[in-house]
Structure 1
């Protein structure tokens, strides 16, 4: 037998389950494709009350320009609404903006979240019974702002289901992020392992490279030393060749000089042979010189002047004293001219030689 309390509890559970199903159906009707569409959840602060916090969920299919649904909640109440593709086109025409650019502005305002904080404002106004909520979004400018769009949101009968949906979305997003983080962590570990292996291989390559460089350097040193030795040998051979060439040149020069000297000697010998063949011609000019020198140096020739003076002194003709004085005055001049090498001619006269003989300055003998 069941108690009344048990029956009441079962009925309340059935009622609660039925209300949850109806709330989920309403959310599906107001935001088509809920659970199948892409969603984002952002935290916003209205301009009228910056301290208040609202949670805004945006859901869309394929592209934001084809329409989207909004779900707004302050954790006590919840409101929902939709924006169709025609509404987006009408709003773009009202503010005279291209549709693509307008859709991009909507994406930044409703989806970007913290990335566009401070660039967009949100205005939320509710009625007294919280049955409806007017929601609008604006773009800030330097000298003001202009409205991008607005819509009227309807109250959700069961806000707890909305909050539960939001919490579920947050948990699902958190799970996805954790799974992605774990995947990235495993990928990071794999990359780190690969990096460690690559680093070890790189170290081995560096060691092999250093060993190869050392081996190549040692071989290069050997080759370089051999080349240096060959260069030194070639330089030595070149210097020896230059020295031998210089010696050969000196030998040729000495031979040529010797030949010139021999030729001159031969010419000199030939000239001396010609002179020896004609001794008479060579001795003719020297006879008068020997005669002159014999005559000049002969002691047999005596100056007749003293004898003449003695004869004159004995006879003492008239004018003899004057002649003797003149002769004695001329006698020192004649002696000086005989021994002076600058005087080129010698004049000797014999006044009273036997037979009337005399000697001319050129060496000829005058006979009386």
Structure 2
């Protein structure tokens, strides 16, 4: 059986002190017993499960919620002070005590329940029982307190050990951070040096690529200019050769024109004038030799062995030199 003991102050006499003990088997909802005493007198009574259900129905309240309100009013006691009011009315003639409890609200209050308690013939036994209950509770609290103190001491020892370990971990962490920082600085400097070297190599590669590109462009430009010049020279030489060959007659034609054409005298000077800029001294010598040979051939021999002396007028002739 579970029991609780609280101290209450009735609304009718706030200076009076009463002790209220509530006991139950399994749960408050299944019924409970009440003992009320002022130290000199004592009253006792019980509340059944049916009465609890009837009170909840009269107030139109859910039964579970009503049981929770009973626990707060009769078990928590001083923890709910100011929220609940208690009324104690003693009837000496009938040896009864009317006990009621209410819930305070902003606009008023509503009654949770009431019951009539019967006077105990020997209140000393009730007081003795309450004192024994208080001592038992006190002993249990002392044991619990001792256990909590030991647990607290153990926790303090663990805390001191944890603090020492934490200090060591902090020192180790600081040392590790310093070591890692130094290594990081070394690695960072090496990376920076590598980056500078790579940038330098990249710049050199870019410069060499630009120089190579410029050189290729200049070579290509030179080759194009050379090809254009060669094409121009070749076409000029071919055109000049074609013009010279087309202007000169063939060898038999030149010979026939020199021997039989009466217009050779008039044509030769014109050709000589056109080719005056290209005639050389060697060409004039060749012309003189050719004219002498032609004069010798014109001296015809007769059948009786006599020669015919005919005076031939030398024909001027010019041979154009071929450009090489």
Q: Answer yes or no: is the 8 Å Cα contact 1:47–1:122 preserved in 2.
A: yes
Partner of 1:56: 20
Q: Does 1:159 align with 2:123?
A: yes
Aligned Cα root-mean-square deviation (Å)? 3.1
Deviation track 1:93-142 (CA, whole Å, cap 9, x = no partner) reads 33333322222221111111122222222111112358221111122233
The Cα offsets for residues 160-192 of structure 1, whole Å up to 9 and x where unpaired, read as: 222222222222212212221221121122122
Distance 1:79-1:261 versus aligned 2 partners, 3 A rule: closer
- Select which of 172, 196, 199 maps to 1:208: 172
1:199 to 2:174 alignment: no
Tell me if 1:47 matches 2:11: yes
Alignment TM-score, normalising by the size of structure 1: 0.58
- State whether residues 130 and 155 of structure 1, in contact with CA within 8 Å, keep that contact through their aligned partners in structure 2: no
Change (3 A) 1:169 1:237: same
Aligned residues: 247
* Counterpart-to-counterpart distance in 1, 2:7 and 2:142: 21
Q: 1:265 to 1:64 in 2, by over 3 A?
A: closer
Match of 2:144 among 172, 176, 180: 180
2:93 & 2:190 partners in 1: Cα distance?
A: 106
Match of 1:245 in 2: 209
Instruction: Give the corresponding residue for 1:219.
Output: 183
Are residues 67 and 265 of structure 1, via their aligned partners in 2, closer, same or farther at CA, if it must alter by over 3 Å? closer
> Which segment is superposed worse, 126-135 or 151-160?
126-135
| SS class of match (1:57) | strand
Q: Distance in 1 between matches of 2:58 and 2:233?
A: 140
Separation in 1, partners of 2:140, 2:72: 23
- Which residue of the partner structure matches residue 79 of structure 1? 43
TM-score, normalised on structure 2? 0.66
Task: In structure 2, list runs of 5 or more residues that go unmatched.
Answer: 245-271, 278-324
Q: Do the aligned partners of 1:40 and 1:57 also contact (CA within 8 Å) in 2?
A: yes
Q: Which runs of 5+ in 1 are unaligned?
A: 1-36, 285-368
1:141 — aligned with what?
Answer: 105
Shift of 1:144: 2.9
Whether the 8 Å CA contact 1:120–1:139 is kept in 2: the answer is yes
1:40-97 Cα shifts (integer Å, max 9, x gaps): 1111111111121111111111111222111111112111112222322333333333
Q: 1:107 to 1:257 in 2, by over 3 A?
A: closer
1:283 Cα shift?
8.0
Q: State whether structure 2 residue 107 is matched by structure 1 residue 122.
A: no
Q: Residues 106 and 255 (structure 1 numbering): CA distance in 2 closer, same or farther, change over 3 Å?
A: closer
Distance 1:260 1:281 in 2: 37
